[in-house]
Amino acid sequence: MVLKYIRYILLFCLLLTVAICTLVWQASSTKEYSRSTYGKMRKLPQNYFIDGPLITQVVYNRIGKCGSRSLNTIIHSLSKKNEFHFYTSPVGNVTRPKILDLMSEVRLIESMPTPMLYTRHIHFINFEKFGHQPPVYINVIRDPIERFVSQFYFKRYGDNHMGMSRLARPWHDGERDLDINTCVLRNYSECSGLKLWYVVPYFCGQSPICREPGRDALLRAKRHLVDNYLLVGVLEDFEGTLQVLEKLLPTYFNGAVKIWKKVENKSVKNTATRNKVPLTPEADAVLRDKMKLEYEFYDFAFALYRQLKVFQLGLDL
Ligand SMILES: *[C@@H]1O[C@H](CO)[C@@H](O)[C@H](O)[C@H]1NC(C)=O
Ligand SMILES: *[C@@H]1O[C@H](CO)[C@@H](O)[C@H](O)[C@H]1NC(C)=O
Ligand SMILES: *[C@@H]1O[C@H](CO)[C@@H](O)[C@H](O)[C@H]1NC(C)=O
């Protein structure tokens, strides 16, 4: 009985194999295609003539107090309008995961349905080290002292939108009322050392050298910026950053400026940090000196941003 049908069964198996092979081959060849295209693009970083539609994986390793909540709001609206997947990591407090977590993070990002944009507060991940194709990175930075001051007060008083809800943390005596100028001038731990080494590690990455404030880390951060980031915008020119994103990644960011203009007033009011007291010139000078390398990175990124916006895209600064 079985013997009678054996050749049909064999034929069926053969056909099934052919079908599976064809599918696998097709999938891998599309991947090859986007890979080679992407390979070409990486040699021309910050270049206008990038074929936007072929980019399907974007990672925004957002930095706190650099406009990331506003940008997330905009991306959220855009994801519906422009039909891409927008994922925000639920992890908000780990920028340097342990190696196993890092590996699952890479696999997670790789496996997300495309086109997608993923965001998390996380230091740069070198996908190639894990044998994966790197996604396109984007980010937004801000004047280092402004960012630091904003965070100092945000931790204490929240902002108009969140109030104190997410900020329940125990403060020791007087710590919450600490004056930022005192903190800086007396070199309290909150205003010195690694607390002032904040943005560079986001671009330098997961390697231990990135934890050491120094030239090696700075150099690596700059290299990653040039090689892996399609755009690093600046909060000081947020609308311009959106304009540039519209040009570079139209399939994701078309209409970004329009959405921003609609929500701008509300968003600026909501995310304004409360109780800010200005730095004295003395404290400002001390901070500026301690954050020299952070400033060097910021100036470098700003110069590239300006060059891209004005000379390559022909937009007004
Ligand atoms: C991060 O937050 C989670 C939950 O909010 C907590 O369980 C975890 O201990 C935190 N990790 C660190 C390193 O602070
Ligand atoms: C300030 O504190 C940091 C550690 O937080 C320390 O490395 C540094 O040497 C101190 N600087 C001064 C001038 O005391
Ligand atoms: C936002 O505020 C500015 C100045 O306060 C005002 O001119 C503008 O019309 C406002 N925009 C919207 C969309 O409400």
Q: Which ligand is closest to the CA of 290, given by its number?
A: 2
**Stretch 73-82: mean pLDDT, rounded?**
97
**Stretch 234-262: mean pLDDT, rounded?**
97
- pLDDT for 306 equals 95
**Stretch 257-278: mean pLDDT, rounded?**
85
Atom of ligand 2 nearest to the CA of 189: 5
Which single residue is written with the structure tokens 């064809």?
22
Residues 6+ apart with CB under 8 A from 189: 195
- pLDDT for 268 equals 83
What is the number of residues in the chain?
317
Nearest CA, atom 6, ligand 1? 93
Q: Which ligand is closest to the CA of 168, given by its number?
A: 1
What are the tens digits of pLDDT across the range 302-314? 999 999 999 989 9
More confident residue, 248 or 22: 248
CATH no. of 36-312: 3.40.50.300
Which single residue is written with the structure tokens 């500026």?
288
Least confident of 53-57, 216-220, 221-225, 250-254: 53-57
Residues 6+ apart with CB under 8 A from 107: none
224 flagged as catalytic: no
Q: Is the pLDDT of residue 173 over 90?
A: no
Atom of ligand 2 nearest to the CA of 192: 5
Q: Do residues 144 and 291 touch, judged by C-beta distance below 8 A?
A: yes
The single-letter code of the amino acid at 209 is I
Q: Report the distance separating Cα 203 and Cα 245, nearest Å.
A: 19
Nearest CA, atom 8, ligand 2? 193
Tell me what percent of the residues of the chain surpass a pLDDT of 70: 80
More confident residue, 192 or 155: 192
CA-based nearest residue to 86, from 116, 120, 52, 121: 116
Expressed in angstroms and rounded, the spacing between residue 53 Cα and the centre of ligand 3 is: 34
Expressed in angstroms and rounded, the spacing between residue 220 Cα and the centre of ligand 1 is: 28
Q: Which ligand is closest to the CA of 262, given by its number?
A: 3
Taking the mean position of all CA atoms in its chain, how far away is CA 171? 30
Q: Is 30 touching ligand 2 by the criterion CB < 6 Å? A: no
